[in-house]
Structure 1
Amino acid sequence: MFDLLVVFGVALLFIQIIRILLSDCDLHLQWYCKFGETPASLKGKVVWITGASSGIGEALAYKLSSVGCKLILSARREDRLKQVKDHCLKQNQGIGTEDIFILPLDLLDFGSHANAVEVVLKYFKKIDVLVNNAGRSQRALWEKTSLEVDKAMLNVNVLGLLSLTKCILPQMIKQNYGRIVITSSLAGKLGAPGLGSYSGSKHALHGWFEALRIEGYNYNIDVTMVCPGPVFSEALLHAFTESGEKTLGVEMKPTEKRMTAERCAYLMSVAMANDLDEVWLSGNPELFFLYLYQYFPTITRRLGRRIGAKRVKKLQSGMTNLH
């Protein structure tokens, strides 16, 4: 009997490993994609997306508008937001121009956030979901990165999001419901060489918003942490380098092994529809490596040193378009 249980356990583990290797998301989310609520269940929700002018935020706007969500689109580039809105309206005949509200917003202008929330509430009367998607990436070795870049990353990727969330939270408490969605990263789960400041800022988001998840329980306010791996976007164009005076300016090539923004947006919308706490969105080997790190951290750290050493050498040689 014991031997049969061992064989069954090994077989089950083997099947799960195969599922991970063939997937582009964690097993929990994979199950909900097949058997859970579809994004269509979000119809009628008022969703505020920051960083909506390109990449994941833009793709999420298209996906949510296609299922009948009412949207607030925010970013600094108003012209791009107008293009995103126009595309939403052209692709979806069931929504009107009044269902998508454009609100230019600079997350670093902390003093403007309270007024922005008032403007949104005056227009839609409520906010069901806040998608904290805005942020910047970074590519530079730890030893060469200036403290100014570290501060800038925390301001953009953490404090700006916290400021806006703190302004929205009283309304969600008053409503007695709400969901905060955070675009984190696989780099928010484990450190990655060449992304020290970025990885640190994403780790900080997990600490702050996991605390909010617990505190918000009595008000039916929940948090969804979204951890994408490499995704096609403009991230490398605007990424910080070792100093704050210069951006990376690298365009991603179509041949690179990355998830499309559209696929990422779909998986995010499934996570939102099913009230999932945390999801991992990535192909392999990144996804498999994260599973190893989750359950075998000591072994994975040792393996990571070997893999990381090769990455450091590439960065030292001048390669900039690493994931």
Structure 2
Amino acid sequence: MERINYQHLFYFWNVAREESITRACEKLHLAQPTISGQLAVLEQQIGEKLFYKQGRKLALTDTGRVVFNYAEEIFSLGRELSNTLKGRPTGRALRLVVGVADALPKMVVYRLIEPAFRLPEPVQILCYEDKTERLLSDMAMQGMDLVLSDAPLTPTSGAKAFNHLLGECGVTVFGAPALAVTYRQNFPRCLSGAPFLLPTANTSLRRSLDQWFDAESISPAIQAEIEDSALIKTFGSGGVGLFVAPSNVEAEIQSQYGVEAIGRIDSVHERFYAITMRRKLKHPAVTAILENARDKLFPE
């Protein structure tokens, strides 16, 4: 492969950011054939398509995302060099790319990531949310520093990465005030027949809850199965049904959603994992996240 022409890369980078050749042309004050021609040369040089049509927009292919991640770094360094030569402070932030499994409670995700903002140097965080499997398959391609998940990486996944158990905690059953009055008595027997909002069957929490319901001979009335943890809480705050969430964010959930704690299920645990491409952690923000989780968020 020939050496990459950085002018071609610059045009590609602008088209990717604008999601449109037309808008990139307007921004750069260039004619459309100029940029289209340079993109074609870059794709021929790389030997792969970098874009595909998605409605009226241009979306990046898998190869396009890899090239774009490198282009972001290259032109960010270029701006820093320019600022340095002009005598201006660069203020370049440390970049942290995090994949978040969509089943994870958002409050726990915030508390896991929050220590990165307290580092001495500024940190810029990029968060991607998706299914754990897709995040892991895109981990190297997206340049992710870690993936936060409710389940560990398994040998059958094929991904070359490492698990770091951040911690675990029991869960609490919550409900809107009217439901809490009804179902707080005789917990947990009262949960038989109670309206319930449950996570979908592909989550670790759902599997643990189903086992617990079976062991306790409890048959809840399932009102809805919802994949997104924040949406479950929103439905729950409207009084549609009871729901469970990690006990270590009990106070925050009651405050934010206006619900009440009904009872704790200590035998059902939510586990939280960080998955990284390297066993030895070098990124200071990743180290801060892991240390804070083990020392403060999930102390033994």
State which structure, 1 or 2, has the greater radius of gyration over its C-alpha atoms.
2
Task: Tell me which protein shows more helix as a share of its residues.
Answer: 1
Task: Tell me which protein shows more strand as a share of its residues.
Answer: 2
TM-score by length of 2: 0.23
